[in-house]
Structures are given as structure tokens and as C-alpha cells.
Structure 1
Amino acid sequence: MDFRDNVDLDASQVENRGGGGIGRGGIAIGGGAAGIIALIAALLFGVNPGDIMGGGGSDPGAVQPSSDLADKCKTGADADQSEECRVVGIVNSIQEYWSGALDKEASGSYTPAKTVLFSQAVDTGCGQASSQVGPFYCPNDQKVYLDLTFFDELQSRFGAKGGPFAQAYVIAHEYGHHVQNLLGAMERAQGDQQGPESGSVRLELQADCYAGVWSKNAVNTGFYEKDFTKTEIQEALDAAAAVGDDRIQERSQGRVDPEAFTHGTSEQRMKWFTRGYESGAPDRCDTFAGDI
């Protein structure tokens, strides 16, 4: 996963914030898509929703960036040397792809979304969030939130092999949710939040498929030296399998309960990433039609 050394990075697409306070109690981020995301995250990571999201929608602009990534992350060579700059490069490539892909569609155009790096807790347009939620997308402020320590947990807690492309898969998946928000797919998942055929499962599998689509087209965005290798794609598949509902349930409770699924099985998550990767076409990612 080598970036082109001389490609310019746009660090303005990523904010780097310090930790913030975390509220407790009920989820107070409203219903609809934001509520779905909070519930999905809580079920996936086995934590109390009240420990993840609390308080009303806040003003994320009230928290100032803790450091200026623009001074550190200028070129692809920087992305090859620093994890934070790698995130910048990944985000730049993902948004370059989707801006072109959606502009070709009659269904709409692409609006850029920032990624916010934080530690322990953060204020978002969906309320306050703890690192326990893992990476997530907030539709209210159209931002992706990521505590970089999650990538260590992906290996230590969820048993993934990890690697730079596993990180890219996670980020691309979250931007898949942004694409869904722009295209109205999140509305199709409302009111159907658990179960093997639920709207939430279909939403998550489509985001996996979109991650695969970007992976296929990433070299054409100009940020990478060459197409990703089979080993790198395997890192993504391994990460997708590690966070399948069945594997997480088996590890955490010793049994599998399909009626509590929110993201899909390991097999399904690998299947839909692969479909996106092999086709390279967003229109092959309609998980809301037919069997999944």
C-alpha cells in the first residue's frame, strides 16, 4: 500500500482533536439514522449505549484541533511514514473516487466529509461519543470519527491480523455510510435495526461493498503507486470477518443469535466487500434488493 511520493495531500480533510467529556445516561441523539448508528455500535462492541452516546447534538466546532496536520502531512511520502498522514492519504483517495463516481450518477453529487481523529471521547453532531463505540459516521454533521487506538483493538480484541490496508478498509467502510447518507439509503434502514435480514444489516453490508468498490478504483485516484496486492486485499477481508456478528457473538457470549444481528456474518461481510472489489461498480452494491 505505497502512496505516490510526490502526490500532494489535503490535510484539511482530517481534523486532529484532543479528548473531550463523555456523558452518561440514555442516548439523546434523536431517532432516525443517527439513532440506528448508535444502536448498531452499541450492539457490535458489547457496551452500554449510554456509555457511548450522551447529551444532545453538540457543536463540534467548539473543540479546537489539537495539532495542525497540514504541517506534518504534505505528500504521499509522509503518508508512508506516519499513521496520521496515512489516514489523510486514505481519506483523500476515498473522497477523490466518490466525488467522481457520484457526479456521474443522476441520483446526486458528492459532498466532502471530514474525518475527525480523537482520543477517548469526542463531541459530535450526534452527541458525545466514547472510543468504545469504535469508528463511526455521524449523519447529523456528516463526519467520520476515529480513535486510532481502534486499529490495535482490531487485532488484540477482535483477532484480526491488522495491517495498513485493514485500516483503509475500516475508513472506506465509514465513508460508505456517508455515501449512503447522500443517496438516501440510511432512510431505508429505519425501524428495522436487528435480525439477519434487517435494514441495519443491509446498510452495513452495502458499506462493505462500497469499501470494496473504492479499493478496486483507488489507483485511479492518483494517490497510490499501483493496484493493491492480493495480500493487502486479504487484510481487508480478514478485518471484515473479524467484526462479523457471528464471530463477535461467539467470542463474547459463546453462542450465535441471528435475531440480534446488526452488521451481518463474517461470510456476508467478506462476500459483499469482494463483490464491490471484483466489480468496481457502486450499482453492484444494492443490498436492499433480494437475498443478502
Structure 2
Amino acid sequence: MQFNRNARLDSSQVRSSGGGGRSGRGGGIAVGGGASIIIVILALLFGFNPGDLLGGGTGTTTGTSGSTGTGSGAGTTDAYADCETGADIEANPECRWVAYTNSIQAYWTQALPGYQVTETRTFSQGVQTACGQATSDVGPFYCPADQYVYLDTSFFEGLLAQLGAEGGYAAEAYVIAHEYGHHIQNLTGTMEQVQRQGQTTGPDSPAVRLELQADCYAGVWFRFADNDPDGPIAQITQDDLNRAIDAAETVGDDHIQETMQGTVTPENWTHGSSEQRKQWLWTGYETGDPNRCNTFSAGAMG
């Protein structure tokens, strides 16, 4: 992924949260079937119960479509104040979090009337959020209670590769754009509607449809970023798209289940298959239209 050296960055959209304890988020997690820590992290990243996905366990997690706990988080600092232009990414790669966030929110500000600009909050070790406490084992997640996207900046170092993903900046951008997709769903009321329905697993469940829509929204942003001459993303290459799609396929429920337990159980799916995730990410990119991301329509699931 190439960055626009001359683009101005707004560092106020990314702040660093203070560290916290290690008691976990929500009510904790119980993972059955001998699942590895990879599944625990992915569960927290994408908001599902790993016990459900692997067909065992009774733990709960606070994910993208739910909230527990109280409080709005520990104090934050403007750790990215020196990230002023795209050129600063060359000296300080951490500035890329500002570039992703700025570009994503620039798109939704013009695409969604009444869009509420929020923050990406980075952390290490742990962080207290309005959705509960998260530890350093947690990757990026969206908390609907305080409307922030939380990011442990060390998350991407090797995790997706352990599941066979190529990784890279485009894979990072996909994951963060997916979480901002949940912010859109929260603002539009889609997330609340899915919560009321209560069905959290299954290949056609509202929960899966919610996640696939967030993938589609991420794809729409990729199209915007590729055609925004003044934005911080200078160009989206074919390799970038391949890496984003590869990441989406890697976190498909069937791929995770096959990798971790050797069998695929669609009744436990929470986010959709690798093919579905690829399809909806590509639909978003190909159309560039968030109105084409209606995964809740009849026939949307194929």
C-alpha cells in the first residue's frame, strides 16, 4: 500500500489509551475442543464466542454487537501528534494508523449524512472500555457503548500469518475498515436490530449477515481510497486487494474450523465462510456503493 506523502494527517482521530489489568473482557472466555490462543484472539477481534465456533465451551465475550461493563476508558494521550503528513509514515510507521483512520472516516463523512466522527484508540497490555476490560491478547474491536475502535498495535505481527494469511498494510487496513463498518451499523441502528433478533450462530444468521455487511463496507472504502487523490492512501494496487481478500478468506469460519479442529460445522458459524467474506469484500470494492451491501435482503446469502 502506497501513502500520499503530501496528504495532511489529522492525528486527533487516533489516541493512545492507558494500560490496564489482565482480567479479560466481559465475563471471560471458555474455549472447548483444545482451541489455541489464536482462536481466542480472533474471537475477540471479530466479536464471537470461540466455544460456539468450535462447537464447545460456554464462555461469553463482548463483541462488536454487544456491550457490557461501565466506564468510558482510561485517560488517553495524543501519542501521534507528530504524524502530520503522509511523509511522516516513512520515518514512523505507526503513523499509518492515522492514515487508515483518516481515510476511512473521510469516506463515511461524505457517504453517510450525520456521520459521527469517532476515534481509533491504541493500547498495549490492557485497556478499560465502556464494553469492559480488554487485555493485550485482544486485537482490534469496536465498542458500541463508547463508539471507539480499539487497536492493540502489536496484534498484526504474525497472527494472521499463523492462519496462513499473507498480511501486510492492506490486511491491516481491511480489519480496521471492518471495525468502522460496525460503527456505521451502530449509527444506522442495524446493530441494535440484530441484537434484538438474538440468533448468534448459523450460516444464515443475522449475526453472520452483520459481519458480512461490515466486510462489504470495508470493500467500499477500498474503492474510495483508490480514487481519492488528496487522501493519505496514494494507491490501492492489485497486490493490496489480493492481500485484503486473502485476510478475509483466512478469517472465514470454515477455514478457522478446518485449521483448528479438522472439521467444519456451519451451525456454529458467526462470521461466514471464507467464500462469503471474499464475496462481500469484493462486492463492496467492485460497486463502491454501500447500498449494495444489504446482506439482510432475501437471497443475499446465495
Regarding TM over 0.5, the answer is yes
1:203 aligned onto 2:215: no
The aligned counterpart of 2:23 is 23
| Number of residue equivalences | 277
Q: What are the Cα deviations for residues 194-245 of structure 1, in whole angstroms up to 9, with x where unaligned? A: 1101111001000000000000011327224644111110010000011000
Q: Hey, what's the Cα distance between the residues in 1 that align with 2:237 and 2:181?
A: 22
For the residue of structure 2 that corresponds to 1:132, the secondary structure is: coil
Q: Which amino acid aligns with 2:215?
A: D
Aligned match of 1:159 in 164, 187, 195? 164
The aligned counterpart of 1:9 is 9
1:56 deviates by: 2.1
Q: Hey, what's the Cα distance between the residues in 2 that align with 1:148 and 1:25?
A: 18
For the residue of structure 1 that corresponds to 2:49, the secondary structure is: helix
Q: What are the Cα deviations for residues 148-173 of structure 1, in whole angstroms up to 9, with x where unaligned? A: 22212433432210011111111111
The aligned counterpart of 1:100 is 110
Q: Hey, what's the Cα distance between the residues in 2 that align with 1:48 and 1:9?
A: 44
Q: Which amino acid aligns with 1:111?
A: Q
* 8 Å Cα contact 2:102/2:232 also seen in 1: no
Q: Hey, what's the Cα distance between the residues in 2 that align with 1:193 and 1:151?
A: 26
Report the aligned-residue RMSD. 2.7
Unaligned runs of 5+ in 2: 29-42
Q: What are the Cα deviations for residues 267-291 of structure 1, in whole angstroms up to 9, with x where unaligned? A: 1000000000000000000001123
Gap change, CA 1:225 and 1:272, over 3 Å in 2: closer
* 8 Å Cα contact 1:4/1:223 also seen in 2: yes
Equivalent runs, 1:46-61 vs 2, <5 Å? 49=59, 56-60=69-73
* 8 Å Cα contact 1:213/1:281 also seen in 2: yes
* 8 Å Cα contact 2:177/2:218 also seen in 1: yes
Q: Would you tell me which structure has more helix in proportion to its own residues? A: 1
1:123 deviates by: 0.5
Gap change, CA 1:216 and 1:267, over 3 Å in 2: same
Q: Which amino acid aligns with 2:79?
A: D
Equivalent runs, 1:5-154 vs 2, <5 Å? 5-23=5-23, 27=27, 40-43=47-50, 49=59, 56-60=69-73, 62-65=74-77, 68-70=79-81, 72-103=82-113, 109-154=114-159
The aligned counterpart of 2:275 is 267
The aligned counterpart of 1:173 is 178
* 8 Å Cα contact 2:118/2:147 also seen in 1: yes
The aligned counterpart of 2:224 is 217
For the residue of structure 2 that corresponds to 1:270, the secondary structure is: helix
* 8 Å Cα contact 2:284/2:290 also seen in 1: yes
Q: Hey, what's the Cα distance between the residues in 1 that align with 2:293 and 2:249?
A: 18
1:55 deviates by: 7.4
1:64 deviates by: 3.3
* 8 Å Cα contact 1:2/1:225 also seen in 2: yes
Q: Hey, what's the Cα distance between the residues in 2 that align with 1:129 and 1:221?
A: 37
Gap change, CA 1:143 and 1:223, over 3 Å in 2: same
* 8 Å Cα contact 2:201/2:268 also seen in 1: yes
Q: Which amino acid aligns with 2:152?
A: D
TM-score (norm 2): 0.84
Task: State which drifts further: 2-11 or 44-53.
Answer: 44-53
* 8 Å Cα contact 2:170/2:241 also seen in 1: yes
Gap change, CA 1:24 and 1:91, over 3 Å in 2: closer
Q: Hey, what's the Cα distance between the residues in 1 that align with 2:264 and 2:158?
A: 22
Q: Which amino acid aligns with 2:2?
A: D
